[in-house]
Structure 1
Amino acid sequence: MATIAPNQITQRPRRDDDGGSEGMDIDFPAIWNLLRRNVHLIGGVVAIALLIGVVILIRAERLYRATATVQIEEQSAKVLNSEDGRQASGSQEAERFLQTQLSLLNSRAMAQLVVKKLNLASRIPPGPDGRILSPQEREEAAIAKLQSSMSLTLPRDSRVAQITITDRGPRFVADAANAYAEEFIQYNLGRRFGETSYARTFLENELGKAKKRLEASEVAVVDYARRTRLIDATGGKGTEDGVRMLTSSNLMDINSALGRAKVERIEAERRWRQAQATPALNMPEVMTNPAVQQLVEKRALSTADYSRDREKFREDYPGMRDRATELTALNNEVQKIAQTIRGGLRNNYEIAVNQERALASQLESLKTRTVEEQNKSIGYNILRREVDTNRLMYDGLLQRFKEVSAAAGVTANNISIVDRAEVPNRPFTPRTTMTLLSSLASGFALALVLVGVRSRLDDIIRSPEDVASALDLPVLATIPSHPSRLSMTEVIEGSSLSEAFWSLRLAVERTSSGGVPRSLLFTSSRSSEGKSTCAYAVALNFARSGRRVLFIDADLRRPTLHRAIGLPNDKGLASVLAGETTLNDAIRYGVVDRLDVLTGGQPTRNPAELLAQPVLASIIAAAEQSYDLVVIDSAPVLLLADAIALASAAGATVFVVEANGARAREARAAVQRLDENGARLCGAVLTKYDRELMQYRY
């Protein structure tokens, strides 16, 4: 069988506490195990949180909430064309307008209107000292309470404001929210009506002043015209060219008539000249005369009859003489009419000439009078323009006054109610479901915090992962827990434990490249962690595998192996170290096939001094020469120097850790002491591990 030197055990690298893990992988099984270990703590904290939530629900004041919504427009709907449209010029102006409206809604004046409308002052109880409050104090208290229960919300990019009232009475919150909306509309209407009333008063005053000015200017015009004897030909209405006096008007009329007379005279003269140069019967006026036309037609018929009868009768025939006389009479009649027409043309010409001369003479006399009148009309026109100006002002003010008076009765409003508040059928707060869920979530969060704090403060090693992370040692095996009433032999021979101990033996064989160390020390941070059981089980399994094994009980302070397997303890390792007996005499041979045992011997006062002697190394070396494996059960590391001396002499050391018993700080300190004193640690063993509790998974 190959021999293994002590230096063939791979030295454990130093733990770097500052080094971080390469990844941040979440160990969900470890988290689940942590939660299951603290299930009672979590349940208790959650139950207390739920109980607190129930108490809050029982003791909490039930509040109701109602909301009314109003739409606020920048420009009111026009009822009359004369109404002014109020519209902001940009987004900033619109924002200022809406904020102003919200400020009005949230003002004390608005709250005071609502208090008066709902008579809220009467609901204010007496003071804390029983003193009856004055009406003013009750009103102030009601206003303060109402303002504290009211909230305003204006969503972004919206003109619909939400008026919300929160209080204990369901009917009250609905009435108060609706009253706020209604009073806001009335307040806005009243404010606009006040503006209209002021405008009416102002216009009425200005209208009276304008009327007096108009009357005074009209009197001044009449007085001036009377003094200067001017007569307004337009009747005071004027024309597009201004006021025109009577003389000027007559001059213009005579001038127009003279112009027409000249035209008529020229036409009459032309016709008369033409009549003089034309035979009477050829004149157009004669030819177109109806009487002449009839006589000419009659004459033509008589001439035709005369010519026809002349062929039959002689001229001295009585009938022929009558016809000749008739023709002569007709010719004379035609000539007489023609001369009369020519005389008429002459008379027309002479009349036109005389009329022209008369108008020209009259025009010359009016020119002189018109110049005098124009000098007088300058002042008259000035006064007349003042009258016209005053009349325009008066008419404009009168029209505006009528419009304002009409608009006062039909004032439009830019505020309208969108939704009226309704009486809530259940309280707004407390919310049972939300309160219980919040309590549950808060309790669970607090429980997780407590579990995290507890896991930080509680450094008990519970799983193989805890061993690896706390001690930086490979876990050679995990030994399940067992009933405390079982003896060491029953524990080792148990079906479930025997498999674990067999796995420990196989792990020990793989701790180094050279095979099993010649000497193997088992120790722990404190007593009763199962190191003696593990050491004896490994020794027994190696012996059963065909190796000659020596088991040394080196716990000289509390030797227990001899009682567990029924051996005498009159002599042992203490006797050999003290030189009272030899190694061969102290060994109990044939305890089990191929397994010999060296008990601890009688307890001594100074076991550390005995183990610190150089003879210890000689004893272990001699045992290694005689046996294939030497298994040593040592005392705990903390507060004692026994294990340190033994570990430095042994070929390898196995550190035993009790699950749910050993603390990480103590175990880490023990491993550090072993490291510092040259111990060759090959791994750790986790004992008394409860697989069901830790949800062990194969």
Structure 2
Amino acid sequence: MLQPTPPALATGQAAGAFGNANGDEATSLAPPILLQYWQVVLRWKWVIAGIVAAAVAIGLVLTLLATPQYTATSRVEISRDQKKVTSIEGLESQDAGRDLEFYQTQYSLLQARSLAERVSRQLRLATRDDFFEAHGVSPDDSTLFASKSGQPLSNAERQKREKLAVDVLMKNVSISPIRGSALVDISYTSASPTLSAQISNTWTEQFIVQSMDRRFASTADARKFLEGRLADLRARLETSERDLVNYAEAKGIVALGKSKSIDGRTEVERTLVSSDLEALNSALAAATADRIAAESKARQRNGGANAEALNNVAIGQLRQKRAEVAAEYAKMMAQFEPGYPAAVALSEQLKALDISIAREEGRVLNSRSSEYREAVQREVELKSAVDELKARMNRQQKDSIQYNIYQREADTNRELYDGLLQRYKEIGVAGVGANNIAIVDTAKVPEKPSSPNLLLNLALALLTGVGLAAVATFALDQVDEGLRDPTQVNRLLQVPLLGSVPNAEEEDALQLLRDPKSALSEAYLSIRSNLAFSTDHGVPRSLMVTSTRPAEGKSTSSLAIATVLGRTGKKVLLLDADMRSPSMHQFIGQPNRMGLSNFLAGENDWRQFVIDTDVKGLFLMPAGPTPPSAAELLSSDRMLMLVRQLVEHFDHVVIDSPPILGLADAPLLARAVEGCVFVAEAEGVAVRGIKASLGRLQSVHAHVLGVVLTKLRHKQAGYGYGYGYGYGYGSTES
């Protein structure tokens, strides 16, 4: 049973009605987010339950009807560092295996279509019907008949079955790396346990073989490429060396010494011309020295001759002989006279020796002149030869520019050729290595099926059902755009909430209004309290009650507000301004012979239209006869005059206005009253429709006092807006 509105709610609603300047108070009225979600669940609980139950039932049926599947798993170890039999580096660097992408590359290779094709060819799966039956796949009828009858398949049929077999393999294989290790599990699932184990083991074996083939294929491709490059470089090297030799021969460049520089370039240290020039230059220098010495001797007449004579052996012997003869002659002259025959003989001998010495010294002097002439001649000849070699050397130096170009080209080609040749030799032995993939565990024939798992499938079905239910609930909740709880009024409409009214369901709203202790009376008493805060002088003297469309509780709210105001000791007039569909006289139980339409049509005595009711302080002015055009009557100034006169005789005037949707009456009435109370049905008109209605009121500068949310059900008010009684509306209510 719904409970009466607690006093705290009235206070909270009042705060909501006047707290819109900053929105903080209105926000404080909002229920917790989890409570909002719970209300949505309660609103669509049967939809949620149906979707979840259907999902679980479908999951159960599919699990019971599913064919048992068997999974066989083999395990391999993939080492990052490939073991080498030789120390020669292969095509990949040593650090290539340590890259972060290494294992991801291996996992992708394990799932490659090329590997599946190798497995299919190895096991001849395209010709095995038991393979397709184990996966519930049916090849083309023609190929199936040919296979069973033993007839050979055509190439097109064989290719079709091979493609189908590969597709089935890739769909059912699973690669599962073991986290934090170099181990990888290769699992295969089918309806045949033996076939699953066989394919899993073959998959690991073919992966190892494929890895080795790929490594050898990569080196073979590299060798083939290098062979072509070596042939080209060999021809280029021979051509460059031939050009170098031919050019050297044509230019007469004879290299006597060569050396290698630090960067491997060939440098010519000596050529034949430079060697000859060096030798002739040395000879010229010696000849020049000899010529200078001879010239010096030739200029030294006596001194030079005496000095040379001293060094002459013949002259030395003659002078020694003369000295001996002179000594004997002196000895004899000491004993004998010059005329002594022996003395005369010695004197003649001395003369003969002097003549010989003079002759020898003259010969020496003549030979010195001859040597000088020979030295000059030799110097001239050598100088001429040096000049000629210098000219040849200059020409050769010019020619050496092109020679060096040929030499550098030959050196470059030789270096390239030697480098590629060395690499070619290394690659030839680099492929000789141990495999870095090892089988840890072979696949065993599974003894029990791996799927279907009843509990797991039911859990997944339950989760799927919950997810689908959440999506459906969200979609339905978005489609249902009406106001669902009071907290949405201020948040979506930016209009104060005056209060909320419970749904009477099957009870009579009029009877509940007559009972001051009923939840309905309590709700409107709360609304009256909030209206007291809407102006600086309390409850507005004149107000009208309107809604977007009929049957939202507008007329009942007008009567309820007027009734509650009358109970407080106020003199209240309830004016039925809905001349198109009047209903207030029915609530009071009075006829509708005369009323507002008569006054607007021209009768000035409005007092004759006022009816006294059995409700304390409440008077009624019916709508009167239905006019041809209610909008034309309301557009005149008589409505403004009437309201001003009524306010002078009554404490409050409550006008039951026509709905806004499609009519011009409510905006016209809004000019005559102090404020408007807008009635909105919970889960009724879409929010955009309510905003459009409020926009029409605001366009005529009407003062909207707030919104009254009617027909609020218990599930929408579970956080504090609950009531103990229902709120129903009769068929005549508008």
Report the TM range for the smaller structure's normalisation.
0.5 to 0.7
Whole-Å separation in 1 of the counterparts to 2:502 and 2:579: 27
Q: Does structure 2 retain, via aligned residues, the 8 Å contact 1:50–1:439?
A: yes
- 1:92 pairs, out of 91, 96, 107, with 96
- Displacement of 1:186 after TM fit? 10
Whole-Å separation in 1 of the counterparts to 2:130 and 2:571: 105
Residues 636-681 of structure 1: CA deviation (Å, up to 9, x unaligned)? 1111122122111011111111112233222221111111112111
- What is the identity, as a one-letter code, of the residue corresponding to 2:115? N
The corresponding residue for 1:557 is 580
1:311-390 equivalent positions in 2, closer than 5 A: none
Q: Does structure 1 retain, via aligned residues, the 8 Å contact 2:73–2:197?
A: yes
1:131 equivalenced with 2:146 (yes/no): yes
- 2:621 pairs, out of 598, 615, 628, with 598
Q: Does structure 2 retain, via aligned residues, the 8 Å contact 1:70–1:161?
A: yes
Q: Does structure 2 retain, via aligned residues, the 8 Å contact 1:12–1:682?
A: no
1:659-670 equivalent positions in 2, closer than 5 A: 659-670=682-693
- 2:493 pairs, out of 468, 471, 475, with 471
Whole-Å separation in 2 of the counterparts to 1:557 and 1:187: 90
- 2:672 pairs, out of 641, 644, 649, with 649
The corresponding residue for 1:41 is 47
1:396-415 equivalent positions in 2, closer than 5 A: none
Q: Does structure 2 retain, via aligned residues, the 8 Å contact 1:518–1:651?
A: yes
Q: What secondary structure sits across from 1:500 in the alignment? A: helix
Whole-Å separation in 1 of the counterparts to 2:210 and 2:593: 112
Whole-Å separation in 1 of the counterparts to 2:718 and 2:710: 16
Whole-Å separation in 2 of the counterparts to 1:518 and 1:538: 13
Q: What secondary structure sits across from 1:166 in the alignment? A: strand
> Taking structure 1 as reference, are residues 586 and 67 closer, same or farther at Cα in structure 2, changes over 3 Å only?
same
1:66 equivalenced with 2:72 (yes/no): yes
The corresponding residue for 1:488 is 510
1:548 equivalenced with 2:561 (yes/no): no
1:106 equivalenced with 2:115 (yes/no): yes
Whole-Å separation in 2 of the counterparts to 1:109 and 1:178: 13
Q: What secondary structure sits across from 1:692 in the alignment? A: helix
1:94-243 equivalent positions in 2, closer than 5 A: 106=115, 112-114=121-123, 128-129=141-142, 130-132=145-147, 133=150, 144=165, 148=170, 150=173, 160-178=183-201
> Taking structure 1 as reference, are residues 537 and 419 closer, same or farther at Cα in structure 2, changes over 3 Å only?
same
- What is the identity, as a one-letter code, of the residue corresponding to 1:509? A
Whole-Å separation in 2 of the counterparts to 1:53 and 1:163: 28
Q: Structure 1 regions of 5+ residues with no counterpart?
A: 1-10, 191-410
Q: Does structure 1 retain, via aligned residues, the 8 Å contact 2:547–2:678?
A: yes
Residues 354-405 of structure 1: CA deviation (Å, up to 9, x unaligned)? xxxxxxxxxxxxxxxxxxxxxxxxxxxxxxxxxxxxxxxxxxxxxxxxxxxx
Whole-Å separation in 2 of the counterparts to 1:49 and 1:122: 34
1:570 equivalenced with 2:593 (yes/no): yes
Whole-Å separation in 2 of the counterparts to 1:174 and 1:553: 88
Q: What secondary structure sits across from 1:682 in the alignment? A: strand
Q: What secondary structure sits across from 2:508 in the alignment? A: coil
The corresponding residue for 1:517 is 540
- Displacement of 1:91 after TM fit? 3.7
- Displacement of 1:182 after TM fit? 7.1
Whole-Å separation in 2 of the counterparts to 1:40 and 1:673: 39
Whole-Å separation in 1 of the counterparts to 2:210 and 2:502: 85
- 1:427 pairs, out of 438, 445, 449, with 449
Bigger mean CA offset, 411-420 vs 465-474: 411-420
Whole-Å separation in 2 of the counterparts to 1:187 and 1:665: 67
- Displacement of 1:75 after TM fit? 9.9
Whole-Å separation in 2 of the counterparts to 1:571 and 1:189: 107
- 2:34 pairs, out of 12, 16, 28, with 28
Whole-Å separation in 2 of the counterparts to 1:692 and 1:651: 35
Q: Does structure 2 retain, via aligned residues, the 8 Å contact 1:48–1:443?
A: yes
1:450 equivalenced with 2:472 (yes/no): yes
Whole-Å separation in 2 of the counterparts to 1:104 and 1:456: 46
Q: Does structure 1 retain, via aligned residues, the 8 Å contact 2:146–2:152?
A: no
Whole-Å separation in 1 of the counterparts to 2:640 and 2:618: 21
The corresponding residue for 2:462 is 440
Normalised to the residue count of structure 2, the TM-score between the two structures is: 0.54
Q: Structure 2 regions of 5+ residues with no counterpart?
A: 1-16, 134-138, 214-432, 722-734
Matched positions, count: 460
Q: What percentage of residue pairs aligned between the two structures are identical?
A: 31
Residues 617-642 of structure 1: CA deviation (Å, up to 9, x unaligned)? 11110011111111111111111122
1:620 equivalenced with 2:643 (yes/no): yes
Bigger mean CA offset, 136-145 vs 672-681: 136-145
> Taking structure 1 as reference, are residues 168 and 142 closer, same or farther at Cα in structure 2, changes over 3 Å only?
farther
Whole-Å separation in 1 of the counterparts to 2:97 and 2:719: 71
Whole-Å separation in 1 of the counterparts to 2:645 and 2:462: 68
Whole-Å separation in 2 of the counterparts to 1:13 and 1:183: 76
Q: What secondary structure sits across from 1:541 in the alignment? A: helix
Q: What secondary structure sits across from 1:173 in the alignment? A: helix
Q: Does structure 2 retain, via aligned residues, the 8 Å contact 1:62–1:430?
A: yes
Whole-Å separation in 2 of the counterparts to 1:572 and 1:186: 103
Q: Does structure 1 retain, via aligned residues, the 8 Å contact 2:115–2:207?
A: no
Bigger mean CA offset, 55-64 vs 498-507: 55-64
Q: What secondary structure sits across from 1:106 in the alignment? A: helix
Whole-Å separation in 2 of the counterparts to 1:685 and 1:553: 19
- 2:525 pairs, out of 502, 509, 518, with 502
- What is the identity, as a one-letter code, of the residue corresponding to 2:50? G
> Taking structure 1 as reference, are residues 627 and 93 closer, same or farther at Cα in structure 2, changes over 3 Å only?
closer
- What is the identity, as a one-letter code, of the residue corresponding to 1:92? A
Structure with higher Rg: it is 1
- 1:607 pairs, out of 600, 610, 630, with 630
The corresponding residue for 2:556 is 533
1:250-289 equivalent positions in 2, closer than 5 A: none
Q: Does structure 1 retain, via aligned residues, the 8 Å contact 2:173–2:188?
A: yes
Q: What secondary structure sits across from 2:574 in the alignment? A: strand
- What is the identity, as a one-letter code, of the residue corresponding to 2:675? A
Whole-Å separation in 1 of the counterparts to 2:553 and 2:89: 91
Whole-Å separation in 1 of the counterparts to 2:701 and 2:207: 91
Whole-Å separation in 2 of the counterparts to 1:179 and 1:529: 75
Residues 446-483 of structure 1: CA deviation (Å, up to 9, x unaligned)? 33223323333321122212322332211111111113
- Displacement of 1:444 after TM fit? 2.5
The corresponding residue for 1:385 is none
- Displacement of 1:520 after TM fit? 1.4
Whole-Å separation in 2 of the counterparts to 1:39 and 1:459: 18
Bigger mean CA offset, 49-58 vs 560-569: 49-58
- Displacement of 1:691 after TM fit? 2.5
Q: Does structure 2 retain, via aligned residues, the 8 Å contact 1:548–1:628?
A: yes
Residues 258-281 of structure 1: CA deviation (Å, up to 9, x unaligned)? xxxxxxxxxxxxxxxxxxxxxxxx
- What is the identity, as a one-letter code, of the residue corresponding to 2:192? G
Q: Does structure 1 retain, via aligned residues, the 8 Å contact 2:593–2:625?
A: yes
Residues 6-65 of structure 1: CA deviation (Å, up to 9, x unaligned)? xxxxx999999xxxx99x997332232222212222223333333443454345444321
1:679 equivalenced with 2:718 (yes/no): no
Coordinate RMSD, CA, aligned: 4.5
Whole-Å separation in 1 of the counterparts to 2:130 and 2:520: 85
Q: Does structure 1 retain, via aligned residues, the 8 Å contact 2:481–2:683?
A: no
Whole-Å separation in 2 of the counterparts to 1:596 and 1:124: 90
Normalised to the residue count of structure 1, the TM-score between the two structures is: 0.56
- What is the identity, as a one-letter code, of the residue corresponding to 1:43? A
